[in-house]
Structure 1
């Protein structure tokens, strides 16, 4: 078991990382001073695999546990699902001193975190991420939200967890597609902040995809460390934190365009990274050889690098993105592997050209 700290003053918290540590969750939560009643939220898939283990761990530590499973899928990250959880919490007597425990991937983490942030004006919550994408990205940093039919994560806030508790052993029950989706965010960290990490992924991708424990722990820990460094500089995305959105401008558009039912999040982000690198290369910001290294690594990870949709259809919904500035989408463009910048001046023509180039 290892840990690192996200230093945010009174909102600081630890990210605990290990293998086979899930049964120790109750002990870790017991040290936070929460209780005596917790609300454990998960989905039907994760609940069938780990729900009883987590409940038993929490009960063994002396907690009373309310429990709710929701259907699995991005389409359920909604205000309607939040209302279901509010009702369950009220019916179960969850008090301000209690906590919400999010057991699942990014959908459950975002949704349960949003409920925790708004229930009784805020109760504690604990992240127990069970997908690679959630372990390296969405469980860290305090962004909680639900989707709207017109845009992803458009209803939400910044609300930090009290603890993120990560057991890489649970990744063994993931579908390969979910592992690949998580790798998109892992690759993103190498591009935006750490060229040496990018090279490590190039050299060790097969070990990571095979879920070898040592490689997984290294990847999760480094990804979390990069994100923690950025969040500590800019908790509420007023400046440097925006670089974490590399690939997300186009990625979120693709998710919204398909009603959140076609792409896994990481798959959409992979296309977005390929398009952003094409824009950067066309501007002369990124060397073609480095662009090819990125696209090659994404392909090796089994991720898409092109969109089947008409470029004009994608561009049409970009202004809805919550990161847009004065009606213009903001793009994070790579200058080299390990460094990116945010641009507000990318034209529709540039986006169309990059989408068409990636499509071909």
Structure 2
């Protein structure tokens, strides 16, 4: 990572900015805006050093900081944890002009955003993602939520943040498996909107496959910036996922089903990687991708994802479970399943109500070499 580079600011419409840079963690207070007195800093137990630094930066800038440690990963996204944070806000006397800061991975930013959206019908939130997945996906866009026993993110709200701060230096200590999982969402942006992302991934792998899967990837900051720009442009045009924003769900309907069936033991980016291969095969079966170019694009899904060490197949024999979960997906309309597929590279479209036989056939094509990620 080049520390000489100035931070990059990516606007999300005219609503807020995403700041991406090296050594910018202490700038969190700049994104809070005027009138804030109290800040609830929500973080997982795995980030004591970073939470101390953010707490110190906020206190140096005159804020009264209340710290809330929440469980790691999906265990944070429950009604019980959210209720505990509401109690903390109430006991500390938080008003509508105060704020929440979410410091952590996508699960923490989802939770912090939901708590901010629901407290007093909405207080300011600043997201400080500490994982690649959080930077390029969860923290940007204003979608917040918690899980229930029936599915992922079924309870939530659209609540745009006051700002998002992505300090790329924090990725240096991110476990490789988590960074690779985040690259799954980056690759998604390449297939739906920005093919340069796929070229950069290919270049990094050709130069040094091991480094391409680490924070030492020389293209990592550009990949983050490009993925954030894709999401920012889509979100600015469609905040509430009524039309265009659905393209960001490429690979997610099947991917979310895998996550739930596996009890969330798979990382989100791993499940989405398989989900992208699934919808690529579904696009070919339904005629959206055809001929040699279509075959090549399906093959490219597998080659790019596998080059990063991401899974591209799922175990056989689980179709009934997966289908039942997909039918409860929040993107469905009644009993009609909806998928994002490609008509070509960077040409996403919707596939509404495909025949069940084709859905199962696509599953067969991704379950022949079924494995579980490490």
**TM-score, normalised by the number of residues in structure 2:** 0.91
Separation (CA, whole Å) in 1 of partners of 2:218 and 2:35: 32
Report how far residue 208 of structure 1 moved. 4.3
1:345 aligns with 353
- Identify which of 226, 230, 233 aligns with 1:226: 230
Aligned with 2:326 (options 278, 299, 318):
318
CA contact (8 A) 1:189 1:226 kept: yes
- Give secondary structure in 1 for the equivalent of 2:357: helix
Alpha-carbon distance, 1:119 to partner? 0.4
- Gaps in structure 1 of 5+ consecutive residues: none
What is the distance in 1 between the residues matched to 2:152 and 2:27?
A: 34
Question: How far has the Cα of 1:34 moved from its partner?
Answer: 4.2
1:284 aligns with 2:284: no
Equivalences for residues 125-204 of structure 1 within 5 A: 125-204=125-204
Instruction: Kindly provide the CA deviation profile for residues 326-354 of structure 1, in whole angstroms up to 9, marking residues without a partner as x.
Output: 21221111222211111112222112111
- Tell me the distance in 1 between the aligned counterparts of 2:213 and 2:157: 33
CA distance in structure 2 between the aligned counterparts of 1:208 and 1:226, rounded to whole angstroms: 21
Task: Show the counterpart of 1:102.
Answer: 102
CA deviation string 1:240-279 (max 9, x = no partner): 110100000001111122222x111111111110110111
The structural deviation recorded for 1:210 is 2.8
Residue 31 of structure 2 is matched in structure 1 by: 29
CA contact 1:306–1:355 (8 Å) conserved in 2: no
Following the alignment from structure 1 to structure 2, what is the Cα–Cα distance between the partners of residues 199 and 144? 31
Whether 2:256 is the aligned partner of 1:252: answer: yes
SS at match of 2:300: helix
Q: Aligned to 1:327, what secondary structure does the other structure show?
A: coil
The total of aligned residue pairs comes to 353
TM-score scaled to structure 1, two decimals? 0.95
> In structure 2, what is the equivalent of residue 355 of structure 1?
363
Output the CA distance in 2 between the equivalents of 1:75 and 1:51.
Answer: 19
Q: 1:80–1:17: structure 2 CA closer, same or farther, 3 Å change rule? A: same
* 2:42 equivalent in structure 1: 41
How far did residue 97 of structure 1 move? 1.0
